[in-house]
Amino acid sequence: MSSPTHSKKETPINPFVRVREDHATELAEDYLELIEDLIEQSGEARAVDIAAAMGVRQVTVTKAIGRLKRDGLVTAAPYRSIFLTDQGKQIAKRARARHHTVLGFLVALGVDPEVAEIDAEGIEHHLSPPTFIAMQKFIEQQPAVA
Amino acid sequence: MSSPTHSKKETPINPFVRVREDHATELAEDYLELIEDLIEQSGEARAVDIAAAMGVRQVTVTKAIGRLKRDGLVTAAPYRSIFLTDQGKQIAKRARARHHTVLGFLVALGVDPEVAEIDAEGIEHHLSPPTFIAMQKFIEQQPAVA
DNA sequence: TCCAATTTGTAGCCTAGGCAAACTTTGATG
DNA sequence: CATCAAAGTTTGCCTAGGCTACAAATTGGA
Ligand SMILES: [Mn+2]
Ligand SMILES: [Mn+2]
Ligand SMILES: [Mn+2]
Ligand SMILES: [Mn+2]
């Protein structure tokens, strides 16, 4: 047969549909990356610290963690800190690499690092592979900053 | 007095808070731009066309238009087409200019125009003024494509 | 040890933004 | 000018992701 019935996920042609899909996975990616950062930095990820970093209330974190648990991305026991599953770690790793690249790209473009950090947090979820690759190439082609 | 009590809107320092704010205004911007496009192209903006363009059902458009009406950005009477208020037109104009710049930037970066169109639809809502200006400068500095 | 501050959980509320199903209005056409 | 298909509305439902208020558990310090 030509053209397999199911490839991977049918990339939508409609830009607005794509944006909605991007947003559906956004919060998970940001949470997972943050949880890994907290474990790295302070030894564990507590809801209170996640809440402070995300700028939301703890109860909002609790509900989000519940969804991540449901989706098999974290493990969490009551009154205990939060851990990533293998799948969660994979997503966190990719999210971090992507974030790093977008940040580097914006800085290479001449944007102040503080502003770049803020904008990267939103932009990073809306990049097709070709756009991401173009950003990587741009960074490489940049002459090292003096 | 030094530092006025209220400036304009207190730009948040927390990237995640900024992203949430960006998303809160996103749908309005995209709808308004689209409505103006439809009026330009076909003489009027009908819910059925908005729905097709956005990739949602008509009832979803109806509800969204209700929010835009509530916020003073459109006028709409039952079973009639939709019009922008002056405020709605302003937002649409800015959104279109911004969209155009982001698209041009991605193409200048070497991204295929079709892909650029898709990615621009998400990226455009997450740009600080300095990043936007950096994109404009990059476009200008680009040698004209042969 | 114990107790009070911190942290987490629970209950209940809200808005945005999606959907399907059924009903109503409009307007083109015979 | 009656009909009927297309368009729009209404109703009711859902999930995500916010919030407050209050209850319960944990834990470090006296
Ligand atoms: Mn992000
Ligand atoms: Mn976004
Ligand atoms: Mn958009
Ligand atoms: Mn747009």
pLDDT for residue A118: 98
Q: Which ligand is nearest to the CA of A53?
A: 1
Contact A130 B112 (CB under 8 A): yes
- CB-nearest partner of B30 from A12, A16, A111: A16
Contact B118 A110 (CB under 8 A): no
Confidence band, pLDDT 50/70/90 cuts, at residue B90: very high
Mean pLDDT confidence for A18-46: 97
pLDDT for residue B53: 98
Domain membership flag for residue B8: no
- Check if the beta carbon of residue A126 is closer than 8 Å to that of residue A16: no
Mean pLDDT confidence for B127-134: 98
Domain membership flag for residue B2: no
Structure tokens at B13: 């320092």
Domain membership flag for residue B49: yes
Q: Which long-range contacts (CB under 8 A, 24 or more apart) does B11-16 make?
A: B12/A55, B14/A53, B14/A54, B14/A55, B15/A117, B15/A118, B15/A120, B15/A121, B15/A122, B16/A30, B16/A53, B16/A54, B16/A55, B16/A56, B16/A121
Confidence band, pLDDT 50/70/90 cuts, at residue A3: very low
A121-130 pLDDT, tens digit each: 999 999 999 9
Mean pLDDT confidence for B56-71: 98
Domain membership flag for residue A3: no
pLDDT for residue A9: 53
Domain membership flag for residue A10: no
Look at residue B4 and tell me whether its pLDDT is greater than 90: no
Domain membership flag for residue B63: yes
Look at residue A146 and tell me whether its pLDDT is greater than 80: no
Q: How far is the CA of A125 from the centre of ligand 1 (A)?
A: 6
Structure tokens at B78: 């039952």
Please give the residue range of the domain that contains residue A114.
15-140
**A125: chain B residues, CB-CB within 8 Å:** 122
Tally the domains of chain B.
1
Tell me what percent of the residues of chain B surpass a pLDDT of 90.
88
Contact A54 B109 (CB under 8 A): no
Mean pLDDT confidence for B79-96: 98
Tell me what percent of the residues of chain A surpass a pLDDT of 90.
88
Q: How far is the CA of B30 from the centre of ligand 4 (A)?
A: 5
Mean pLDDT confidence for B85-104: 98
Q: Which residue in A54, A46, A58, A57 sits closest to A82, CA to CA? A: A46
Q: How far is CA B28 from CA A60, B69, B91, B125, in A?
A: 25, 11, 9, 11
Question: What CATH code is carried by the domain that includes residue A105?
Answer: 1.10.10.10
Q: Which residue in A33, A27, A52 sits closest to A122, CA to CA? A: A27
A52-101 pLDDT, tens digit each: 999 999 999 999 999 999 999 999 999 999 999 999 999 999 999 999 99
Report the distance separating Cα A106 and Cα A95, nearest Å.
Answer: 17
Domain membership flag for residue B97: yes
pLDDT for residue A7: 44
Confidence band, pLDDT 50/70/90 cuts, at residue A144: low
Domain membership flag for residue A146: no
Q: How far is the CA of B126 from the centre of ligand 2 (A)?
A: 7
Mean pLDDT confidence for B53-74: 98
Q: Which nucleotides of C are covered by protein (CB under 7 A)?
A: 6-12, 16-21, 25-27
